[in-house]
Structure 1
Amino acid sequence: MASRFSSVQLQRRLYTTTSQWSVRQVRSSDFHGCLGELKNHISDSDFIALSLQNTGSSSFPWHRLQPFDTYDTAYCKTKYAAEKFQILQFALCPFSVRESKLIAHPYNFHLFPRDELNIGMPSYSFSCQVSHLTSMAREGFDFDACIYDGISYLSRAQEFIAKVRMGCPTLTSNTNVAKSSSKPSVADSIFVQRVKSRVKNWKDACNSSSKKSDGLLSLLEKLIPGREQYGSRPSMTIDVCSERQVILVLELLMEFSDDLVPVVIPAKSGGTRAIRAILTSSKEDKILLEKELQNLEEEENKKIRGFREVIEMISASQKPIISYSSLNGVYLIFFIFGCFLFFVFLLFSNFCSNAFVLDADFTFIHSKFLAPLPTNIDEFASSLHLVFPRVLDVKHLMSKIGGLNKPTSITSALSYLKNHYYAPVDLDIPVEATGNDHKFHGHNAIWLCHLFAKVCSVLKIDLDGVQSNNNKRLASMLDECANVSSSFSPYHHKPEDENIKIWAKNAIKVSCRHLIFLWGFRDGMTARLLKTALEGSHEVFCEEFDVRFVDKKCAIVVFWQPGLSETFLDAINSDGIVGSLREMVSEGLRAAGYETYKRVCRLDLWEADLAESLERAMLEEHHSILEAEPETVRLDINYSNDSLIYLNDL
């Protein structure tokens, strides 16, 4: 009771302290103005902490992550939540630690998916969970400001579509043009010669007209059809019908690279509509034009990307991302160099192992700012690793400290460290407070920085060494942190060896093959009553087993002896069952193995009750079997001499 009281006290002190912290609240009206400062803070910092505030996470009990979820089913659940709910706040805090002083630069971005470009993106319907919105409202969240002044955005995939729909021209550097590998055909040669002749005649005409006086004759020449202008510079549009012709035109224009600048004009239906060649007067004028076009393209990109510009900054920095996993420690580790000091290599070495932490926040980030989420966790891990190569989960690091593997919140973890360890970390936020800083928006990111620094202090990890590239010092740090080396191995998580937990606070694990789902039992059942009813109903229940309810209508039964789950499923689906089990089946008792549960998650059968989803999965599985192995329908014909008709007798 004392420890619980101290945790509450610490949380109150944290809220009191955070009222003095300066978190910059960023909305659409001042978003572009803060990008330059944010870029400098990211560049000067060693780590970046992230924390999101969503409109919800799960609607029904079984939709939430359960201890018995495997990596695949956990990913399916987070994928469903990320596609269903929306991000309203994105807290970002670049920070460094210098001599036990945490230097943080916290930002809190208010987001809203408005269709600012009138192209049908990213506006879409999304779900809201009452408890999440209530919590935000209690903290004083301004929903009106979010809706009317929240920062919009487009994902990378949506940006490409938007540029095509808007017909945004793209500057193409001649040095980056990929040469065609195939030999030109006769049609290609005719096309190239025709375009080359046009370009040469156009250039000659422009050069000859430039030598004339700028009188009435020059003005009339500009009005002649086919004479185009890009600002004050002459230009010419070359229509193309295929990507092959695009490459041929760009290769051709390389011959005139001293004074021509090519610009690709996309078609609204996709692909390229034309290549615009702009004539410059000198090398200096060409450099000036390319810079102007590049600046215009960057400004257009910022306008289209919106908040995703921040995601691109984080990705370009390659700084380690600090998160606090909400997935109960679900990890997927990919190793390059084996299991040698996983975490420390991840923190400090440029040759670190590829590690990936399955975190609900990153499924949201991928869905909203990168591209639609892949169907399986392996593709998701590969895709996210390209954008965020180093993601550090504080919960995983806390497991190296005794007693810290159970806290479910940042405040409870800070409370535990305060009561059990001496880890002084002073917080320095060199940002002056703005109008809304007295509210608690975005302070989770600061707490996360504080917790990370304290945990590293307890584990004797010198964060000052992050900025050092000295190999000797790095080796020394690895030796000092040998006690936090990971126990994972390249073969630790095999798909065929999916061990799961049944109870969150129990370390005992069991193979998912030993677990079955039960539903269709009488109303008012509890785990104890159901277990009592099952005891003695079949020979498999003479062995040790446990029962746990997933929701009101579905329970799981775990057998501690191998093979019993298969025996029970065969028995309940056969016609030879007897005794009380037969009576329960006649009343509607149903059972399914873990593969059916996987199928539920994979097919997105997210009904309110797990029992309904399991029924649908079994029904669809039955239909798929029938379609894959159709049975030949036999027509039984009763043959009899008395039934024959002889034509000669008619």
Structure 2
Amino acid sequence: MDVGAEGFAQRLPRLRRRIKRAAFVALDMEFTGLHSTSLQNNEPSLFDSPAERYMKARQSVQRFSLVQLGLAIFSKENSNKYVVHSYNFFLFPSTLGIRDVEFTVSASSIQFLSHYGFDYNKFLKDGIPYMNEVQEESLRQHLLADTWKVCSTNVDRDVLKKAIDEVTSWIVAAKEEDTMILQDLNGYHMIEVQLVLRQALENVWTEPLEDNKVMVKKVSPEHRQLLENSSDDHCQKKLILLSARGFTNLFQILVKVKKPLVGHNMLMDLMHLHDKFYRPLPESYEEFKRNIHNLFPVIIDTKTVTKSVQKLRRNLLMRLAMMHFSVVQFFLCQLICYCADPQSLCPTLSLLWQLLDRNSCPELWGAVSSLRAELQPCFHCRVRLVLRDYRRHPHLQVSVYRHWRHSPSVNCLLQISGIVALWSLLAFVLGGTRSC
């Protein structure tokens, strides 16, 4: 399910309930770029230490932005069944504040997203805002001091000026309780228009409507004061802050419930989570690790898990190969005795056989080789089983292939030989009769 800014607030309570009931959550992200090539010595290297790789990735994370976050919420129904609810959240940096947010775009990343059908219009027009704790504190201070603003373009300022001119012209002839509708106001401009009108005109009240509309109502100063004290006022500063935080509200829910977080190759994902929703990335790699583990105590990276399982299996076989012959022989015998299908051990024994050095431990190598040969069914046993299964088949006749009997070349030679022999016998008989 695709989720943008327009429907995010309505879905947030349901998302909160599902995350609280979840067994674990999985996520993946898309960015405007991965590794910045404009910075000197910023290319990742196989010889990087973890701290060096972090510092290089940190510079890239600070330059690029999030465009989409995929979240899958897994809830356990019974012992062997999970129900998953998946969401694609379009994200766009919050434009409510004193400083405008700048980010870099990588041509290859944009081309990759475009190839797989990414909706750039939804990202730009309906992206869910977000901010970290430092940006939130700055906005809170400016809200208290009434020095906040929306970082808008000249076109946006023209829209705001037009809306304000319409209201000031209308209110001169309007009567108390009369209303008018302002249209085509997107995002934070709905909030900014209402606050500017309320600050400039003491006898108006505003309320947001659906479809990017705002209702303007002429009221008395006494009625205006009652409405300002109402809990339903959408322009209260705490509600403005809540709206500006956007997706950060969902991030804080994830942090609060402490559910296991699952992903693949998660370093960049975790760094963007820290930088965009929590705090700017620290310079210290150790501090970053402490912060992440405080936010998400259980992190499961499937790439790391896969490599660990492969390494564990190989180490187990290597240690088995280094054991004394009698210990290995006893282990293998016990393994076969308690295995439901001994033939399923053939791949493991083959790998062990390849790891063993024939010269350094010939006895163990010979024992494993013999065991492989015993577990693999012989050719003649398999043939007998096939002949037995097809013995009474109504339509198929199966027999063992004999080259001297079933080969087309041999059959042709035998037929020619038979014809020659027949003619020779016939000539002999007829020749003998004439001589008599």
TM score, norm. by length of structure 1:
0.33
Larger helix fraction of residues: 2
TM score, norm. by length of structure 2:
0.49
**Which of 1 and 2 has higher RCO (CA within 8 Å, sep 6+)?**
1
The structure with the largest alpha-carbon Rg is 2
